[in-house]
Amino acid sequence: MVRSSPLLPVALVAVLLSACRGSEYEYLGWRSEGGGYGGGGRGYGKPPQCVSIPDDLRLCYDVGYDSMLLPNLLEHETLAEVRQQAGSWVPLVYKNCHPGTQVFLCALFAPVCMDRPVFPCRWLCEAVRDGCTPIMEAFGFPWPDMLTCDRFPAGDVCIAMTAPNATEGTRPTGLPQVCPPCDNEMKTDAILEHMCASEFAFKTKIKEVKQENADRRVVLHKRKKAVKAGNLKKKDLKKLVLYLKNGAACPCQQLDNLSPHYLVMGRKVDQQYLLTGIHKWDKTSKDFKAAIKKLKTHKCPAFENVFK
């Protein structure tokens, strides 16, 4: 699915963007008394600085401004740490679960340069949380404690996309139109990020699909060609059964047609193996062929460090 590149249409946008045009290492004077942005965080060896958003920070490189505050509002002190942690959220932006997802996350991972931090609005956090939690849960990830919405301001100056009383068209409602792992409108980069969010991936066929409570139970054929083997043992591989979490009520076209070969992705959550992605093995698709080729050299972020 092609994602949009939302900007920051807030009243302070001109001030925010002009503040980002400083030099690469513009030292700022603001510092909280408690050592961290929240007043009780860890202390820093140097004051916050304004740095250019690197082009390999894919979550925020196209968010609409060029520079960011470091340490950021999640207390990441180096760009290497920001890259590692932010990379885990790229697949969620691709899912378009809420139009404000990228703006909300980048307000924290790559905040605009001001003389003091500007947090995202609480209502924006709540809207993104409510829109994206069902998709995150489909992949076995809860909404993390570090993004608890009560920690963000309800008023005053904060980052928002639209007014809190925006039209309902900006807020997702009801069940997703397609089960999140079955979303098949993906470009090369999106396929790679979804592969990274999965522990294993195979070329295989689907043997049978059955409804099991609110989930769907997906049984794979014994013959599987590993694209990404992960930590699966041979005994696990032979009897591998995947579950489409909360997938009983949402459509998944791939599971309606069991004849083609599919790229099937998954990960273990508790004692179950969840289906995290299923994509037709389509050699005529340039994006698909490019994703399979690039996977050998593609460096994945460390997802387990974020969703705990």
- The correct answer on CATH 3.30.2350.10 for the domain covering 180-296 is no
Listed in order, the ranges of the chain carrying CATH 2.40.50.120 are: 180-296
Listed in order, the ranges of the chain carrying CATH 1.10.2000.10 are: 13-170
Q: What is the DSSP letter of 21?
A: T
Exposure class string for 113-129: b at 16+ Cβ within 10 A, else e? bbeebbbbbbbbbebbb
- pLDDT digit string (tens) for 104-141? 999 999 999 988 889 999 999 999 999 999 888 888 88
Beta bridge mates, 225: 203
- pLDDT digit string (tens) for 245-255? 988 888 999 99
Comparison of pLDDT for 224 and 105, the residue scoring more: 105
Exposure class string for 204-239: b at 16+ Cβ within 10 A, else e? bbbeebeeeeebbbbebeeebeebbebebeeeebee
Q: What is the pTM of this model?
A: 0.66
Q: Is the pLDDT of residue 169 over 80?
A: no
Residue 185: the pLDDT is: 65
CB of 289 closer than 8 Å to CB of 222: no
Residue 300: the pLDDT is: 76
110/108 Cα distance (integer angstroms): 6
Q: Is the pLDDT of residue 176 over 70?
A: no
Of 90, 91, 57, nearest in space to 72 by CA: 57
Provide the CATH topology of domain 13-170.
Frizzled cysteine-rich domain (1.10.2000)
191/142 Cα distance (integer angstroms): 22
